[in-house]
A and B are shown apart, each in its own frame.
Chain A
Amino acid sequence: MLETPSTDVLVIGSGGAGLRAAIEASDLGASTTIISNGVAGKSGATMLAGADVTLDGAGAAKIRLPGNEEDSKENFLHDIIVQGYYLNNQRLVEAYVRDAPARTKELIDWGVKYTWDGKRALLTQGIELNRVLTEQTRKRNITLINDVYVTDLLTQGNTIVGAVGVDVNLGEVQAFKAKSIVVATGGWQRAYYFTSAPGGMTGAMHGAALRAGASLVNMEMVTFCPNVILWPPPLRGDIFPYILIEMFGDLLEKHGRPFLRDEYDPSIYRIATTTEWNKLIFSLACTRVVMRGDGSPRGGTYYSIKTVPSNIIEEAEKLYPGWRWLRTDFSPLVEWLKAGNAVEVAPAAHYMEGGILVDEHAASTLKGLYAAGECSGGLFGANRVASAITQILVQGAIAGKTAAEFSKNKEARGPNKKQLNEIETRLLSPFGNKGRVRAPGLKKRVKEIADHYLWVLRNGKGLKAAISMLEGIRSRDIPHLSIETTARAYNKEWIDTIEVESTVQVLLASARSALYRTESRGVHNRSDYPLTDNNTWLREIVTRAVKGKLTLSTRTLTITKLKPPKGKFSFEDGIIRAVKELGE
């Protein structure tokens, strides 16, 4: 095994959160290394983000963006918590609204191209953010390591001393010594088959954090993005119709009826079509249509712009000239839609509210382990409406600072040889196995379980079935995974083997949490417990691994500013109530 020199701060993940963490740590004098399972700027969720940076209007005005000075951090915090169904860790929300203006200003100072929406959002693109942040990274003395898939964290007692990963190009196991680690690896959407997220987001570090002794929180909370293209294959997984429906168009069931307009309260319809609550409302409405048998042949619904006058469409094109968005020419799709066709769309796994349990300093429950961005949990409670880009910038900078301060004047500790050997043996064992289980097939089976039982609308029976299948896979199949391919360089079977192990672990944590939460709240909806129960369930669910077994418990909410109301509400009533509270 190759062992690399020690670094003060090791950042795992090269999306926005990882890059911002590294910049902060380096500026505070820490020697800093970023390990990416891909390449910075060419992997991770940031590159696909729409993307907006949100901050309060008064904060915007202070950094000379024309924001509403009557708005305030307190208002913004209030909105995020109401949108999160009060499950948010309010200390994390305080940090978010406090630091959002500073993070936005520095982006502008660094030359990001943007437009301002006039209220609370700086509009840019993920590609542009990556450009700016990688440029800043290159200006500093930060080491970048590409294509190394980190699988494990090294600990001495409950202190982090390094990490182990596989260099996928060389096909080698490598160890990295570090005084502290910032995990910034995003969500685990690739545990699902139908997702809008890029490859590599499989929860490897969620699994590693659990094994090392850290906790996960709110793992039942998964946001789905509605209106994601199911067919044709070249556009599969694309969220462009989701962008379009913010302007016009209808979702239709198989008889051509616009079900949201026909079946929901007019106020819900208005909220769904004019605010970013659309993710939650559309996803649930579409899933209900498919479950009652009124979906499209591929298991979705239809998006149509047939009733939209052509000059309205032309007007909208000014926002997306030539119908180009995220390096893609969507004009053939728009022309096809204009001709009266409807594209098949469905909700796709999109954003994870849950993740590694951290405090407002980005510190996990392990010494020297920090988490920032989507891989951490608690900020957005049960539903995210505000920007995840602001999240990665704010939490990235905080994690970089805390990690740099922690590493100061500390001696690097060598990794425990026994632990190192155990990890290497585990990673290499599928090469010697003559077992019957192959990673490509197993990965497919696991994803089918996720898409079937851990989808938008869950129920106890399905969750129990999923848990039993996943437990079976964990005990009976994973130990017998074997790799047929002898070449180590870019061995896809090996990569899939690594991914499927962590995927099963995060799905188990998610399914167990979803079964535990006997209510519906935000993005977590159960047909057998349809009410949001503020009398019993204003609690976070925490997952830990004790001697290899997942153990769940609940934790009292962190409330510093906004006291949640008591009572029980239906999905519709909850949204109508929330919208009244938000004053929209």
Chain B
Amino acid sequence: MTTIKVRVSRFNPKVDSAAHYQTYEVPFEPRMTVMDVLDYIYENIDPSIAYHSHTSCHRRVCTRCNVTVNNKPGLSCHTEVTGDITIEPLPRFRVIRDLVVRGL
């Protein structure tokens, strides 16, 4: 089975002074999305990872799942993954935790 390396920015403003990266190995499925990757990590590897999904539309309409993928902004429900990736919060937004930011 092919796997990809997923670097995720982790930050809890209550306890951390700065963000750090954590790398996860995730099984690759053709045409999987960033949201699929995050769901896989949450469900199978690390339930402490924070990314917006509790009211996500999964249909590119609500735009609340917006993150930075390989230095480019993109909706995690719609951005396809083709290889190793780095996922960070949107720049210039105050981070609530990990990839969840205020004001989206």
Contacts and interface: CB of A to CB of B under 8 A. Distances in A.
A487 B13 CA distance: 10
- A interface, size bucket: 35 or more
Interface of A: 37-39, 42-44, 47-48, 127, 149, 168-169, 198-200, 231-234, 236-238, 326-328, 438-441, 444, 484-487, 489-493, 495
A38 B64 contact: yes
Cβ-closest 6 pairs across A and B: A38-B55, A43-B55, A200-B55, A485-B48, A198-B57, A232-B31
A453 B57 CA distance: 25
A45 to B, nearest CB: 9
Interface centre among A149, A198, A238, A490 (most CB of B within 10 A): A490
Given A233-B80, A326-B61, A485-B47, 20 more contacts: A37-B54, A38-B62, A38-B64, A47-B57, A47-B61, A169-B102, A198-B62, A233-B29, A234-B31, A234-B33, A234-B77, A237-B58, A327-B60, A328-B60, A438-B47, A440-B47, A487-B14, A489-B97, A490-B50, A495-B54
A233 B32 contact: yes
Contacts of B62: 38, 42-43, 47, 198
A234 B57 contact: no
A562 B63 CA distance: 45
A169 B64 CA distance: 13
A381 B40 CA distance: 39
Interface size of B as a range: 35 or more
A492 B52 CA distance: 9
A238 B60 CA distance: 10
Contact of A237 (B15, B49, B59, B80): B59
Interface in B1-57: 12-15, 29-33, 36, 42-43, 47-57
A487 B48 contact: yes
13 contacts: A42-B62, A42-B63, A168-B54, A198-B62, A199-B53, A234-B78, A237-B58, A328-B59, A441-B43, A485-B47, A485-B48, A489-B97, A492-B42
Contacts of A127: 61
Contacts of A232: 30-31
A501 to B, nearest CB: 15
B96 interface: yes
B90 interface: no
Given A484-B48, A487-B48, A37 B55 contact: yes
Given A232-B31, A487-B14, A493-B47, A48 B64 contact: no
Interface of B: 12-15, 29-33, 36, 42-43, 47-64, 77-80, 96-98, 100, 102
**Interface SS of chain B: helix, strand, loop or mixed?**
loop
A39 to B, nearest CB: 7
A42 B12 contact: no
Contacts of A438: 47
A48 B100 contact: no
Chain A at the B interface: SS class: loop
Given A237-B58, A238-B59, A495-B54, A489 B64 contact: no
Contacts of B47: 438-440, 484-485, 492-493
B33 A199 contact: no
B43 A440 contact: yes
A198 B33 contact: no
A42 B64 CA distance: 7
A486 B50 CA distance: 12
B54 A39 contact: no
Contacts of B14: 487, 489
Contact of A236 (B43, B53, B57, B58): B58
A326 B12 contact: no
Contacts of B52: 490
Contacts of A326: 59-61
Contacts of B57: 43, 47-48, 198-199
A137 B25 CA distance: 46
A44 B77 CA distance: 16
Contacts of B48: 484-487, 493
Given A38-B64, A490-B96, A440 B36 contact: no
A234 B36 CA distance: 9
Contacts of A236: 58
B75 to A, nearest CB: 9
